[in-house]
Structures are given as C-alpha cells and as structure tokens.
Structure 1
C-alpha cells in the first residue's frame, strides 16, 4: 500500500479541489487497490419476480384529485445528469444544449415540461442540474435565459478527480498537467455524495422534499411520472430503477437480477467471459436499465453519511498526450443494492428515448414523433412498436453536417431500416419506406431529389431513384 501513501501526499498538495473531493478520491483508489471487486457467482443469479421488478401496468393510478397530486409533486426534485459534452456529435458545449426539435434544446424541453407541471398543479418541482467542470460555466450562462420561468433551477458540480498515471500511480496534475486534461468527473455514481457535499440535499430535505428523480439529460422519454412517484411513496421504496424490455440494440445494457436475496444491477463488465453471450441474449435477461432512477433523499443522506455506497468500480483507461492514465468511475444504478425496499419498474419503451448520435436525432426530428407541451410523443400512425434502425455514415456524424445534408427530415413512419454511406444529400419532402440503403460511389455526390418516395430499394446512383 506504499502506492497509496505516496498518492495521499500528492493529492493533499493539489489546490484545485476540496477536502471532500480529496477524501472521496483516496477512498475510491484504496478500494480499487484492495481489489475488493465483487465476484458474481453465476449459479446464484435469479430472475427477479414481479414483486421486485414491478410491471408498469400493475401500478395503481395516480390520484385524481389535483390537491392530492400537488401534495405528491411537492415531495419531488428532478435532477438531470448534465456533465456530458456533445463531443461525439461534433459539439463543443454541454450536450443538453443541442437543438432537438422545433429549435428547442434538451434543456428547453425539460424546463417546459416542469413549468407545465408547476402551472397545472400549483406545485414547486425544482430542476437540478448536476454539471461537471466541463459543462459548468456554459450551463450557468444558458440557465440564465430561464430566469423568468416559474421553476427554481439549481446547479451543482459533481466531483473533480485527478487522472492517475498508470506507470507510477501519481496524479496527473502533480506532473504539471493543471489544465482540464489532468482531471475527470468520476461517473454518475458520484451524484449521491456530490448532492450532499453541495449542500443541496439538506436544503431540499428542509423544504419537505422526499424523492429525487434522476435521469440523463439526453433521454427525451424521462418525464415525471405520477404513477411511479405515487407507488414509491405508498410502498416506502427507497430506490427504484426504471427498466424496459431489451431489444437487440440494447444487449450491452445492465440488467436487474435477484442475488442472495437482494435486487442488484448486473453490468456486462461483471460477467465472466464464458457467460457473456448468455448475458446478451434477450431470452434470459429480458430487461435493461434506462438510468431513470427514483431515490429517497433521506436514504441518500443516511447512506452517504455512513459511507455505505460502495458501488462497483469501473476502471476506464485513457491516453492523455501520450501518457496512459486511469479513471476510476462508478454508476448510479449500481447503488440499488444498498437501499431498503429497492425495486425495478418495467416501464414502456417510450420512457427510454436517448439521443446518443445523429441517427437518434433523425428519429426524434422526423414525423415519427410530435412535440406536445415539451413532451416528445410517438406518432400513433406507426404500426410497428419498434423504431426503424438507422445507420448514417461518418459524413453525418456531426450535428452541423447532419443538418446541412437534409433540406427537411424525410417521412419515416413506414421505414424499417435505413443505411446511408458516402456523400449523400437529401432534398425536401422525401418519403422512405421499408428497407432502404443509399450508397454514394466514392468521390461522387449523390443527391436525392425533392419529393422522392423510396421503398425497399438499394440506391447506388441517380439512375436507381
């Protein structure tokens, strides 16, 4: 443990972070070094029963009486995980300010939704954004534009931890890397201690708040659900993870299992190699974690104070300016096993609509969805319950390029799959149906004309349209 002693003194000398952050970091590293990884015995894994993973349609209806609904909503805080940058989609700022639909960003939609709740029921549901040092400054500027809305917006930063140099286990900043490259945000499992360290947790408890609804800011389906909140309050569940049926696109997502009498999250990283294919099958593990989480605030306080939230550590190796570094992270979903009466709720797929890439943006900007009161709602005219699968080539990867290549987003209500490769440009009013593949030949610009209707076709040049 000599490594740890060296590290402690190096970390103590870092002026950029607080004592809480230093302690949290050392704590994480010492857990990692002690190799306390929890090994799952495959034979002990059980499929959770309906008591543990409750089917959504068995929840009792939320209260009819607006006064009762107000009472319920006044117990709630909505927290969006806002630490991510839109870099994978070619944007520099926080991902939550990418325009999703009708010129509105993720953040705009979230604010509109909560404003509507507050107006309709006369309640006060605050919005809390957990930023990282990467998104903090930009988010503060953006939040300013909502200052006249009927919604309290709070922000706090998640922890900032030093990246570890693999070679000698020293913090990267103490080797002169004092810029942003020297640091990392340690995953969303950090939401619980950071909420407490920021003073926000105690402030909400003193206002009589009881539950926090945590979700990724890029999940358009993660809207406040009164039935779920009502169920948790009635049954005194300290933690609830929304899960939804797996499709072949979600085979890597974590799943809920019953293990030694407790419900817990099983992630692909914890699965022994010989069982990975079984983990990915949709037969044995039918559900996956949406990362929509409902957690009791008093329980968070109790567990953070007792230092009992020891989630599985996810080592994330990176390279910074040619130096191999390690980031130790945790995930909020893994905390489920530490809470009392923790449950999953098997929710409709509509509550999971993440926008991770421009192919997802195409779905939500198309006629497959409409926008009502800040909610993105699926078009009833689509018969197929699953969304079309969409693969766009690298030319479409950045949001700016994606937008410039479509004069208008095609109609895709009857589309099954779309694959686009090469230098392809779309005109206005195009309709795509069935299985469509469009491949421009290398070095050739392929323009799909306005108003084209393409059904079950492979297109390699203008002559195929």
Structure 2
C-alpha cells in the first residue's frame, strides 16, 4: 500500500503530463490533494460550536435604510461587480445545457432575468455594473453562444472559466484521464470555492480593480431571490453559519461527525443556513489569494464513472468567510432566497405566487402566509419537459399550504389549488384534473374524488 507521500509524488508526475490544463490548475489541484491527504482538520470539534450572536449574524431588519440619495447610490453601484456562478448543468431536471438557460417565466431564462435586473439598475442610476459569469468547462461553450444575444443590452458581460481538475481513481489516486478517460467524464469543476483563485488567474480581478471596482456580489445563477436566511425543513442539508473559536464560520454537512448529523439538520439548534449570496471586498480577495491564505474545508465528493469509483475534492465559497477580517452574516428574509433545484421549485416561481418586474421576482402580496407552500412532485414530473407537458397552465397556488402528487397526473388549465392537497393516481391509471377546477383540502385518489 503506497504511503500518502508516495501517492502525492506519483500524482505530481501524472498531473505534470496532462496537457489539457494550465500550470495554475495543476498547482491548485496538487495543493488541494496534498491538503486532503494531510487530513488537516476535516471535522470540527463539536463541543466548540456556538450559535452565532446578532453581532455575528445581523438580522436583516435591523439594517437601517437611509432615504435614497440617487447620486450616492450611483457612486456605490459604480464600485460593484455582480458575479453569478454558472458552472452547473441542469442534469437533475433532465436538461443538457447550463442550468441558467432553463426557461423560468414567460419564455425568459434565469440568464435573461439576471441581465434584465442589471440593465434596470444601470438605466435607473446611470451606473455601469458589469455582469460576470463564472462558467465551467461543462457550460462554457453554450454560455458564450447565449451571451451573444445580449450584445445590445445595457450591461457589460464578462465570462471566465473556473478550474478544471482531473477526477481521482479512489483505489490508487491516479488521475482518471491517465487511465484513458480522456473525455469530459475524466474531469470535474472543483466547487464554487474555486471562484477566488479563478477570478484572479483569469485576469478579471485585476481588471475590475483597475476600473475602480471595490465589491463583488456573488450568487448562484439559479437563485432568483438573490443573503443568509431562516432555515426551513427544505434546507436541512444546507450549510449553516456558526461561531467557532471566536470567528464566524460556515459548517457544511460533510464536516459533521456522523453522531451529530441529526442535530445539524435540526432547525432548532441551527436556525439559519447559507444561501451562497456573498458580498466581498475585491482588494481583500486579491490579498488573500496572493498569500495563498484561503484554505477552505475540503468536501470529498465520491462518484462513479463508467463503473470506476472516483473522488472529487471540492470547496465552498462561503467557507472562506473565516479568512476575512470582520466578516458578518446577514439573516435575510426568505423572499431573498428563491432557488430552483427541482421542478417543484419551478412550479413556485412560474405560479401566481410571484410576479416579475424589470427582471426582479417579487412575492405576491395576496399570499398571507410568509412561508412558501410545500410541494412534492413524483418522478413523472422530474424532467422540465415532462413537468411542462403535465400542466396545461400553472395552477393558482396563493392559498396553497402543501401539495403532494404521485403517479400519472395531468393538470388542466386555470386550476386553483388551496390548503393541503394530496393527488395520488393509482398504478396504471391516468388521472386528469379538469380545466377550471378549484380544489381545497382534499385527498384525491381517482376521478370520483374530484
């Protein structure tokens, strides 16, 4: 059995021969694997974890909003860069391209809405906020083609690629491309924690600093609410902010000892979770990257590729919080977090629960309950194409509390759903909800229950 030192030496030799990636990527990858093999603090000491105070995680409603001064707002916006993490594919929802090009509302994609938002800001205040997309090798080509559509938009769009690292064969730590897997399957993007070195290596960080930019807002491209927000039962696996040895820190489920996983998922002890909306000082990023100080916790992600067990080592951007002086979290309202991870989320944002104005998705004031309805759709609805074909139109759900759908169910046009509903089509039976149906607090197992 090779020692870790021997594994690392062999890996360095293997990686040096990979012509598909840059020297920066090679050294970044070796650095990551070296840290992983040295087993530096992968787990936190559970007894040292403390719930963060209001000084560390500031309640959103305590942030005073001064009366708007358009000139001051323009001055601040001119120091801002908006960066969207655009490396993910829509594979979990049955799509082949970048997730950001899934249509969300009225034929508009995530990317369309993001561009509209920034265009609106730039037009309203006469400022020049650029949009930056961090792509991965999976999304780069498609995104470049799509960005050409916005050539006439009032927003300057920049793109760069995050690192491309080789997947490791779990058995012997050989890079998968060295075993003949030379296509895309041999590689992976190492999580959004890679945003910091990649922003620097791409030259974009120095470019923005030379233009007088000072801050970057980083968010996932699929979060239309784009801040830290109160945790709900839908978010129990999301990272949370903690106080640890006097600093605010991100705790991810992968770092939690097995004995404490249920406690981690509790919404009593850990009341907030990380939405990956980050406001960061660009000068601080430059200083920390150049000092190689951003040693975020490593998240091992085991996968299987064509029957071979492989390992991906990843990091999360939010975990960098402990390396920035005087960093705080802001506990924002749920309305500022509207991710689309599955078609059940797509149903929410396409419904009358939200309206879209100037690219901004706003909650319908007619909805009295501050929480969103809980929606569970069966596997028949998993792919976007199937989801869309099963609704003649998206139902009205402003008065819905929860919806669970299983089996071969089809929804007619102008359906209204209220209260708590279960729709369960028996095996082999096609269950159609008629046009114009208003259904409230029901369990539907067949046409006779409608």
Q: TM-score range, shorter-chain basis?
A: over 0.9
- 1:250 alignment counterpart: 235
Aligned residue for 2:34, secondary structure, equals helix
- Using the TM superposition, give the Cα deviation of residue 404 of structure 1 relative to its aligned residue in structure 2, in angstroms: 0.7
Matched, 1:153 2:157: yes
Using the alignment, how far apart are the partners of 1:176 and 1:106 within structure 2? Answer: 36
- 1:455 alignment counterpart: 440
- Using the TM superposition, give the Cα deviation of residue 43 of structure 1 relative to its aligned residue in structure 2, in angstroms: 2.1
- 2:107 alignment counterpart: 103
Report the count of equivalent residues.
446
Contact 1:163–1:171, Cα closer than 8 Å, also in 2: yes
Using the alignment, how far apart are the partners of 1:65 and 1:391 within structure 2? Answer: 44
Matched, 1:41 2:34: no
Using the alignment, how far apart are the partners of 1:10 and 1:112 within structure 2? Answer: 46
- Using the TM superposition, give the Cα deviation of residue 62 of structure 1 relative to its aligned residue in structure 2, in angstroms: 4.6
Contact 2:302–2:312, Cα closer than 8 Å, also in 1: yes
Aligned residue for 1:308, secondary structure, equals coil
Using the alignment, how far apart are the partners of 1:55 and 1:15 within structure 2? Answer: 49
User: More deviation in 186-195 or 283-292?
Assistant: 283-292
Task: Give the TM-score taking structure 1 as reference length.
Answer: 0.95
- Using the TM superposition, give the Cα deviation of residue 256 of structure 1 relative to its aligned residue in structure 2, in angstroms: 1.0
- 2:83 alignment counterpart: 79
Matched, 1:57 2:36: no
- 1:238 alignment counterpart: none
Equivalent of 2:202 in 188, 198, 203: 198
Matched, 1:92 2:77: no
Using the alignment, how far apart are the partners of 1:275 and 1:33 within structure 2? Answer: 24
Contact 2:391–2:410, Cα closer than 8 Å, also in 1: yes
Using the alignment, how far apart are the partners of 1:63 and 1:95 within structure 2? Answer: 38
Using the alignment, how far apart are the partners of 2:42 and 2:187 within structure 1? Answer: 27
Contact 1:79–1:213, Cα closer than 8 Å, also in 2: yes
- 2:10 alignment counterpart: 6
- 1:314 alignment counterpart: 299
- Using the TM superposition, give the Cα deviation of residue 276 of structure 1 relative to its aligned residue in structure 2, in angstroms: 2.2
User: More deviation in 365-374 or 127-136?
Assistant: 365-374
Using the alignment, how far apart are the partners of 1:398 and 1:82 within structure 2? Answer: 20
Equivalent of 2:119 in 102, 115, 120: 115
Using the alignment, how far apart are the partners of 2:210 and 2:31 within structure 1? Answer: 29
- Using the TM superposition, give the Cα deviation of residue 60 of structure 1 relative to its aligned residue in structure 2, in angstroms: 2.3
Kindly provide the CA deviation profile for residues 264-285 of structure 1, in whole angstroms up to 9, marking residues without a partner as x: 0112222222322222222221
Contact 1:129–1:156, Cα closer than 8 Å, also in 2: yes
- Using the TM superposition, give the Cα deviation of residue 188 of structure 1 relative to its aligned residue in structure 2, in angstroms: 0.2
Aligned residue for 1:167, secondary structure, equals coil
- Structure 1 unpaired stretches of 5+: 223-241
- Using the TM superposition, give the Cα deviation of residue 42 of structure 1 relative to its aligned residue in structure 2, in angstroms: 2.0
- 1:395 alignment counterpart: 380
Contact 1:63–1:69, Cα closer than 8 Å, also in 2: no
Contact 1:76–1:210, Cα closer than 8 Å, also in 2: yes
- 2:175 alignment counterpart: 171
Contact 2:43–2:257, Cα closer than 8 Å, also in 1: no
Contact 1:79–1:128, Cα closer than 8 Å, also in 2: yes
How much is the aligned-residue C-alpha RMSD, in angstroms? 0.9
Equivalent of 1:284 in 269, 272, 288: 269
- Using the TM superposition, give the Cα deviation of residue 63 of structure 1 relative to its aligned residue in structure 2, in angstroms: 5.6
Contact 2:296–2:316, Cα closer than 8 Å, also in 1: yes
- Using the TM superposition, give the Cα deviation of residue 55 of structure 1 relative to its aligned residue in structure 2, in angstroms: 1.1
- Using the TM superposition, give the Cα deviation of residue 450 of structure 1 relative to its aligned residue in structure 2, in angstroms: 0.4
Equivalent of 2:25 in 21, 24, 46: 21
Using the alignment, how far apart are the partners of 2:165 and 2:378 within structure 1? Answer: 35
User: More deviation in 182-191 or 409-418?
Assistant: 409-418
- 1:300 alignment counterpart: 285
Contact 1:81–1:131, Cα closer than 8 Å, also in 2: yes
Using the alignment, how far apart are the partners of 1:203 and 1:336 within structure 2? Answer: 24
Equivalent of 1:138 in 136, 142, 151: 142
Kindly provide the CA deviation profile for residues 331-376 of structure 1, in whole angstroms up to 9, marking residues without a partner as x: 0011000011100011111111000010001111111111111111
Kindly provide the CA deviation profile for residues 195-252 of structure 1, in whole angstroms up to 9, marking residues without a partner as x: 0000000000000101110000000001xxxxxxxxxxxxxxxxxxx31111111122
Using the alignment, how far apart are the partners of 2:409 and 2:272 within structure 1? Answer: 37
Aligned residue for 1:295, secondary structure, equals strand
Contact 1:37–1:313, Cα closer than 8 Å, also in 2: no
Matched, 1:185 2:189: yes
Using the alignment, how far apart are the partners of 2:228 and 2:143 within structure 1? Answer: 29
Aligned residue for 1:435, secondary structure, equals strand
User: More deviation in 274-283 or 146-155?
Assistant: 274-283
Using the alignment, how far apart are the partners of 1:159 and 1:300 within structure 2? Answer: 17
Equivalent of 1:212 in 210, 213, 216: 216
